[in-house]
Structure 1
Amino acid sequence: MALMQLERLQYFVALAEELHFSRAAERLQLSQPALSQQVKRLERQLGVQLCERGPHGVTLTAAGQRLADGARDLVTSYEALIAEVTAVGHGEAGVLRIAHTRSDGAAVARAALASFGRQHPGVEVRAEVGWTAWNLDRLVTGDLDAAIVRTPIERPGLRVEPLAESEVVAVLPTGHRLARSRRIRSAWLLEEAVLCWPRRQAPAAHAALLTQLFGTGPFPALHDEPDADHLLAAVAEGAGIGLLDRARVPRRRGLLMRRFTAPEPHLGIGLAWRPDHPSPQLRALLATLRRA
């Protein structure tokens, strides 16, 4: 009953604006008799006459004018609500909660989300930054829709959409004995102090990197640095040789970058998400990434 009354209000508002049954019926894509019948039913429901029908059009009664004035805002709000609900359900509006990984340098995340934003301007992207392990914890608990993380990951129940691969290189202080070589063999690091991010920040990626470089062992002495800035500063001070993404090594006095001999170590960046809880906004983001 409530839905029918709202539809009749929509019909009456159109009639009140056109003041002509034929024009209002055409606007509503109804037949003129069907529109006339709906208005009569509305009058019977309310127990008042809403309009006077004449040979040259329609004149609203005082009751009809009051209904038209009040119903117009109601109908507009209803139509806006339906449009908003539809947009949210299709991933064209609403909120997308996502976390970037600090180790990405934000380049991949910026490119992916910029493309998504251009295609879905109605979606509010709420972004935060954290290490891979923290982002995955937030994803599992439902605090995030997606997380940009270092890959590989070992989290049952999560899926990862690959975004990019990054080559890992050695960062040396100027004057280091290995700087004379254009490329470095990983075995040469066994006698060096090696600086890397803490394993707890991305355990699976940390293990994958060491396996690519040293297989099952032996391993060099590893020293944790909390982030790239601290790692670079420690290398410049002579604390050891750093492992870092090639794209994140700056041109800076006191530092040198050397690639490893083939096969060069690589790590991935991916978008992690829960397949059991895909929001419409997440589905839209995944579709954008897969079209890129």
Structure 2
Amino acid sequence: MERQDIEVFLVLAEELHFARTAERLHVSAATISQTIAKLERRFGASLFHRTTRRVELTSLGRQLRDDLQPAHAQIQAAIARAIAAGHGITGTLELGYMSAAVAQVVLRLADSFRDHVPGRRVTIRETALADLFGPLRRAEVDLSVLPLPVEEPDLTVGPVLLSEPAMLAVPADHRLAHRVRVDHYEIARERVFFADTLPGYWIDHHLPAPGRLTESLPGFQEILAYVTSGHGVALVGAQTPHFYPRPGLICIPVEGDAAFDYALVWRTDRLRTIAEAFLRHITPTCSRPAPAQLDPRVNRPPALRGHAPDAARR
């Protein structure tokens, strides 16, 4: 059997659908049918039962699949290792992240990358909210998933991995606690806590209405503590109730299509080959590509989509 014939058979044995197999292998459905027919003539028996409703492996097909899969996986891994070594994709990829919601996305992509490039190691490390850019600048991580906006001339913003709808965190006895959703003008009447690492125009972008009080805090847990104790409110991502549940904390959806975006960021002057390979691998699965209109050396993507930023912080 030729390598292409083996791949056609194994993918069809997994998909059990001729059109999906053709789509995965970037060939026509007729090519898949012709390849399987050729193999069945060679073996003198059917590999698949076909009806108008379904495709199933025959007993011979199951035996051939079970015999071929381990050897094919070893060959694919050997080829991937040779390509990786030939292109200098060596060492360990260090990924940074800064929230539990982002961690799930990062781990899934890391596993996929390891499967695609066998033999490469990927490690992750949590980044403190008070030191978002430090690990990148100290070369402790190659890539870091950070909340937008990133306004740092020495850092480049890449594709968006996660977008979370915005919610308002309030104490359970707050006047808005039983609302289905809130608008920005209601939020603007409140004392709003936010992380002190965020640039000034970020909060302006969230709350375009005048008359607000804002106060920065060093970390997310501190923000939630102040909100739960009744000292104010905070704008948070939609996954906060799931990952950071607290008695007495209520999260209410914010009107509009506002969302917090988290993107891959790296030092403009330092992008290792293994990091480039990771970016190429994960880009098709990203929420959105990097903002094309921005100079990668001076990144000012909006923190919340759907609202025009003020000209300057009041």
With the shorter chain as reference, the TM-score category is 0.5 to 0.7
Amino acid at match of 1:232: L
Length-normalised TM-score, structure 2 = 0.56
Q: Whole-Å Cα distance in 2 between the matches of residues 99 and 89 of structure 1? A: 27
Among 92, 103, 127, the residue aligned to 2:124: 127
Among 169, 185, 188, the residue aligned to 2:167: 169
1:70 match: none
Q: Max radius of gyration: which structure?
A: 1
Amino acid at match of 2:157: V
Q: Whole-Å Cα distance in 1 between the matches of residues 204 and 85 of structure 2? A: 44
1:257 match: 251
- Would you say the 8 A contact 2:127–2:135 is kept in 1? no
Shift of 1:91: 5.2
Structure 1 unaligned segments of length 5 or more: list them: 1-82
- Would you say the 8 A contact 1:172–1:235 is kept in 2? yes
2:280 match: 287
Shift of 1:97: 2.3
- Would you say the 8 A contact 1:92–1:122 is kept in 2? no
- Would you say the 8 A contact 2:189–2:211 is kept in 1? no
Q: What percent identity do the matched residue pairs reach?
A: 24
1:96 aligns with 2:93: yes
* CA deviation map 1:76-120 (0-9, x unaligned): xxxxxxx98974452553121222124755233222222222222
Q: Whole-Å Cα distance in 2 between the matches of residues 225 and 157 of structure 1? A: 25
- Would you say the 8 A contact 2:180–2:253 is kept in 1? yes
Q: Whole-Å Cα distance in 2 between the matches of residues 155 and 240 of structure 1? A: 30
Q: Whole-Å Cα distance in 1 between the matches of residues 230 and 191 of structure 2? A: 10
Structure 2 unaligned segments of length 5 or more: list them: 1-79, 286-314
Among 176, 179, 183, the residue aligned to 2:177: 179
1:244 match: 236
Shift of 1:174: 1.4
Call closer, same or farther: CA 1:174–1:143 in 2, change over 3 Å.
Answer: closer
Among 227, 238, 242, the residue aligned to 1:235: 227
Shift of 1:289: 1.0
Q: Whole-Å Cα distance in 2 between the matches of residues 95 and 287 of structure 1? A: 16
Identify, as 1 or 2, the structure richer in helix: 1
Shift of 1:270: 0.7
2:150 match: 153
- Would you say the 8 A contact 1:183–1:259 is kept in 2? yes
- SS of equivalent residue, structure 1 residue 288: helix
- SS of equivalent residue, structure 1 residue 97: strand
Q: Aligned pair count?
A: 203
Q: Whole-Å Cα distance in 2 between the matches of residues 136 and 223 of structure 1? A: 21
- SS of equivalent residue, structure 2 residue 96: strand
- SS of equivalent residue, structure 1 residue 183: coil
Length-normalised TM-score, structure 1 = 0.60
Q: CA RMSD in A?
A: 2.9
Equivalent positions of 1:25-40 (< 5 A) are none
Shift of 1:257: 1.5
Q: Whole-Å Cα distance in 1 between the matches of residues 146 and 88 of structure 2? A: 23
- Would you say the 8 A contact 1:132–1:148 is kept in 2? no
2:206 match: 213
Among 271, 283, 287, the residue aligned to 1:278: 271
